[in-house]
């Protein structure tokens, strides 16, 4: 495996950041490139504004509006010796200060896509690679449910939603199949699941009457939650949420999922929910990288860190290695997996490194987190907000909606994102949500091939029928049967679901 020596030589130390999520982006934004070479390794070249991700699934917002390229967040990354590399980190040797990376060549450009590995050396390392959805090892979740953490997953949900509507409208689709296609099951009653279900309810009441009124009565949204919906909020807000979900037509089921199948969700009670789309939003678990790192981990698989965010190995801080965001948790006081925590840890880490690399170096105080509160939108112009500091109080309804919208609008990282989001919100309000269906090229090719095969078979059948009528012989079967068995035609996992 080749070793890549950071460009820029020994003149400045190299700080490597793994991940471009909330934690990595907030760190890289204010890290001072005058004192170090900054190298970012991540599977994606942008930061994603996750609180608004559910709104992209129904076309309220466009995907790119909530993404910020990392070179725009830290312009120094555009020129060497600073760099961004799109790669998957699979291991870190903390003794050799070496990071194991895998890169994949250009997909779709040829048959043999090169997959290459390399090692990258660091002087200082910050792990900010987040977490993955928790499936609780329930069979069928990985294969048949959609997660809602990445843009590619939100795109998969939006495509499936529109495909189901188009399929349900075909004259060949029977009523029972229409009901299945238009039943959406959301698993997980946390803020993300609730916000997604509420935005879906808006789509069904505001847009379906314009684009497919005959189908409106057949739509159904079920929210499955094993405990309390919005369980981290106080009881008044939980009751308010329950009433609101009921009012906007979302069925809440207190149940546990036993299995997810291609066309249904099976509950431990034995009940089978036949559906056309399953969205899985039940919290996070350890990422593959967390599993391979040789350092201390807590029972949830998060990396153990101390109050200065140093990664611990055998209970002792590793030299020059920190971890921030969802991938890590303080051994004494684990914090929730929230953007609010990740972003503040990112800012703290930037000021720690800026102080450490300045001359003379200045030490940092321990990281402290004060939880200001939580919010959730409940569809239409309704939201709820629970404030914890500086004072404890709740707000619900339209006022909370205004706070929710303006808080997230101001938190968007750039004027560009604010402009795009504002235009999308106004556009969806004026013209309705965008249900344009744009297939991936691999999907479009498969669709065209299956349709063309079907047309050939049907033409042959009709010719035989005509011939049979002429000769008065036995008729062939009434319909051509084309079975679509998608080969591994796409590089986009969501397409194969």
List interacting residues with ligand FAD (CB under 6 A).
18-24, 41-44, 50-51, 53-54, 88-89, 128-130, 148-149, 192, 287, 289, 325-327, 337-340, 342
Distance CA 164, CA 420 (A): 28
Q: Residue 17 or 265: which CB sits closer to ligand FAD? A: 17
Q: Residue 88 or 168: which CB sits closer to ligand FAD? A: 88
Q: Residue 181 or 304: which CB sits closer to ligand FAD? A: 304
Q: How far is the CB of 41 from ligand FAD (least distance, A)?
A: 6
Q: Residue 148 or 198: which CB sits closer to ligand FAD? A: 148
Q: How far is the CB of 439 from ligand FAD (least distance, A)?
A: 24
Q: Residue 288 or 361: which CB sits closer to ligand FAD? A: 288
* Helix, coil or strand: residue 240: helix
Q: Residue 6 or 54: which CB sits closer to ligand FAD? A: 54
For β-strands 115-121 and 257-260, DSSP reports them as unpaired
Distance CA 41, CA 30 (A): 17
Instruction: Using the Cα atoms of residue 243, residue 244, residue 248 and residue 252 in order, give the sign of their dihedral.
Output: negative
CA distances from 234 to 18, 224, 240, 241, 480 (A): 36, 20, 10, 11, 58
Q: Residue 26 or 181: which CB sits closer to ligand FAD? A: 26
Residues 6+ apart with CB under 8 A from 414: 68, 72
Q: How far is the CB of 270 from ligand FAD (least distance, A)?
A: 31
Q: Residue 371 or 461: which CB sits closer to ligand FAD? A: 371
Residue with token string 């994949």: 104
Distance CA 51, CA 149 (A): 10
Q: How far is the CB of 101 from ligand FAD (least distance, A)?
A: 8
CB of 38 closer than 8 Å to CB of 74: yes
**Alpha helix stretches (DSSP H) within 293-376:** 339-357
Residue with token string 């604010």: 418
Distance CA 331, CA 273 (A): 40
Q: How far is the CB of 262 from ligand FAD (least distance, A)?
A: 24
Q: Residue 312 or 375: which CB sits closer to ligand FAD? A: 375
Q: How far is the CB of 463 from ligand FAD (least distance, A)?
A: 53
Both tokens of 342, joined, read 């990740």
Query: What 8-state DSSP symbol labels residue 477?
Result: P
CB of 278 closer than 8 Å to CB of 260: yes
Neighbours of 429 (CB within 10 A): 11
Q: How far is the CB of 175 from ligand FAD (least distance, A)?
A: 34
Q: How far is the CB of 350 from ligand FAD (least distance, A)?
A: 13
**Alpha helix stretches (DSSP H) within 116-187:** 141-144, 151-169, 175-181
Q: How far is the CB of 6 from ligand FAD (least distance, A)?
A: 17
Q: How far is the CB of 362 from ligand FAD (least distance, A)?
A: 26
End-to-end CA distance of the chain: 34
Residue among 37, 124, 126 nearest 74 (CA): 37
Q: Residue 50 or 178: which CB sits closer to ligand FAD? A: 50
Residue with token string 């590793």: 318
Distance CA 396, CA 406 (A): 15
Q: Residue 209 or 288: which CB sits closer to ligand FAD? A: 288
- 3-state class percentages of the chain: helix first, strand second, coil last, to nearest 5: 40, 25, 40
Q: How far is the CB of 255 from ligand FAD (least distance, A)?
A: 22
Distance CA 284, CA 193 (A): 13
Q: How far is the CB of 23 from ligand FAD (least distance, A)?
A: 3
**Shortest-Cβ-distance residue relative to ligand FAD:** 21
Distance CA 284, CA 254 (A): 20
* Helix, coil or strand: residue 146: strand
Q: Residue 89 or 353: which CB sits closer to ligand FAD? A: 89
């Amino acid at each position: 495996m080749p070793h890549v020596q950071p460009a820029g030589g020994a003149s400045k130390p190299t700080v490597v950041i793994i991940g471009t999520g909330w934690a990595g982006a907030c760190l890289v934004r204010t890290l001072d490139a005058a004192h170090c070479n900054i190298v970012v390794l991540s599977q994606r070249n942008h930061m994603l504004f996750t609180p608004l991700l559910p709104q992209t699934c129904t076309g309220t917002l466009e995907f790119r509006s909530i993404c910020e390229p990392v070179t725009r967040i830290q312009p120094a990354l555009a020129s060497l010796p600073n760099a961004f590399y799109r790669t998957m980190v699979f291991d870190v040797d903390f003794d050799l200060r070496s990071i194991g990376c895998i890169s994949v060549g250009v997909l779709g450009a040829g048959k043999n896509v090169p997959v290459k590995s390399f090692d990258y050396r660091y002087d200082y390392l910050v792990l900010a690679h987040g977490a993955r959805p928790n499936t609780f090892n329930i069979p069928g979740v990985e294969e048949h449910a959609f997660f809602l953490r990445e843009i590619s997953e939100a795109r998969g949900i939006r495509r499936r939603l529109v495909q189901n509507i188009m399929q349900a409208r075909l004259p060949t689709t029977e009523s029972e199949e229409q009901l299945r296609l238009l039943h959406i099951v959301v698993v997980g009653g946390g803020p993300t699941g609730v916000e997604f279900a509420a935005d879906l309810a808006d789509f069904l009441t505001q847009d379906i009457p314009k684009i497919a009124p005959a189908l409106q009565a057949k739509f159904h949204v079920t929210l499955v939650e094993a405990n309390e919906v919005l369980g981290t909020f106080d009881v008044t807000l939980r009751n308010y949420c329950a009433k609101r979900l009921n009012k906007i037509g979302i069925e809440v089921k207190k149940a546990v999922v036993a299995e997810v199948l291609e066309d249904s969700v099976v509950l431990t009670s034995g009940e089978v929910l036949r559906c056309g789309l399953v969205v899985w939003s039940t919290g996070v678990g350890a990422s593959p990288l967390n599993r391979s790192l040789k350092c201390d981990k807590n029972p949830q698989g998060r990396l153990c860190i101390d109050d200065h965010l140093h990664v611990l190995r055998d209970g002792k801080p590793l030299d020059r290695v920190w971890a921030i965001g969802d991938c890590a948790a303080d051994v004494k006081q684990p914090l929730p997996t929230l953007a609010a925590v990740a972003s503040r840890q990112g800012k703290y880490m930037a000021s720690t490194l800026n102080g450490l690399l300045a001359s003379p170096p200045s030490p940092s105080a321990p990281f402290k987190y004060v939880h200001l509160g939580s919010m959730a939108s409940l569809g239409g112009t309704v939201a709820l907000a629970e404030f914890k500091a500086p004072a404890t109080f709740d707000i619900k309804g339209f006022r909370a909606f205004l706070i929710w919208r303006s808080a997230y609008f101001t938190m968007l990282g750039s004027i560009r994102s604010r402009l795009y989001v504002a235009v999308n919100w106004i556009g969806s309000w004026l013209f309705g949500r965008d249900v344009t269906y744009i297939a991936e090229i691999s999907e479009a090719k498969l669709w065209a091939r299956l349709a063309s095969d079907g047309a050939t078979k049907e033409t042959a059948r009709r010719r035989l029928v005509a011939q049979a009528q002429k000769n008065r012989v036995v008729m062939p079967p009434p319909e051509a049967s084309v079975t679509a068995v998608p080969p591994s035609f796409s590089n986009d996992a969501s397409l194969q679901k």
